[in-house]
Chain A
Amino acid sequence: GAVVSQHPSWVICKSGTSVKIECRSLDFQATTMFWYRQFPKQSLMLMATSNEGSKATYEQGVEKDKFLINHASLTLSTLTVTSAHPEDSSFYICSASGQNEQFFGPGTRLTVL
């Protein structure tokens, strides 16, 4: 299957700072990428759909001004958590759309102190 990477894998930051998470498709071009959030002992919840060269589509209840998504190339999408607070602490997972399935990254653990 295709390989998707995320960087960083783990980040700890102070409340009020911004954090950028990168998602890269390593061996294929992804027109569409997705960002998910997973709270402890819960399932993955789709936050937004990231389309290369256009604005991201956010799911209901997700603040687009807080979770900035940029998909500037066919292999890179970034999620920036602006002015992070402790309640933003979570596991963030990205995926890239293939022909019949999505390929998931390894996830980024964000801890906001």
Chain B
Amino acid sequence: AQSVTQLDSQVPVFEEAPVELRCNYSSSVSVYLFWYVQYPNQGLQLLLKYLSGSTLVKGINGFEAEFNKSQTSFHLRKPSVHISDTAEYFCAVSKSVGPGGYQKVTFGIGTKLQVIP
């Protein structure tokens, strides 16, 4: 079974400061890794994903994440946050299952990023 741990339920940070949201995963097989953002009363928006290749992944809105296989981590970073980054962030892992090979996704509990003006 696969699992995702987001250690920080809330992260307050001042505007224009850097931020790191932590994510660790466990899985017995190779997985794909994702970060999603959710604004209040809205669905999920994909920030970035790691499927293979370069371990440093760049996403939308200036976010990036680094896949570290030895530490089973996929931490999300942004060098300078904006008020509009205030939202809930979910780390997720997926693996291929079933004869059709569809992706089954497991989510972390989420980290609420609160940007302080």
Contacts and interface: CB of A to CB of B under 8 A. Distances in A.
B43 A105 contact: yes
Contacts of A107: 41-43
User: Which secondary structure dominates chain B's binding surface?
Assistant: strand
Interface in B3-57: 32, 34, 36, 41-44, 46, 49, 51
Nearest to B105: A102
Interface residues of B, number: 22
B43 A104 contact: yes
Find the residue from B46, B51, B90, B103 having the highest chain A CB count within 10 A: B103
Interface of B: 32, 34, 36, 41-44, 46, 49, 51, 90, 94, 98, 100, 102-105, 107-110
18 contacts: A32-B98, A42-B109, A42-B110, A43-B109, A44-B44, A97-B103, A98-B103, A101-B34, A101-B46, A101-B103, A102-B103, A102-B105, A104-B46, A106-B43, A107-B41, A107-B42, A107-B43, A109-B41
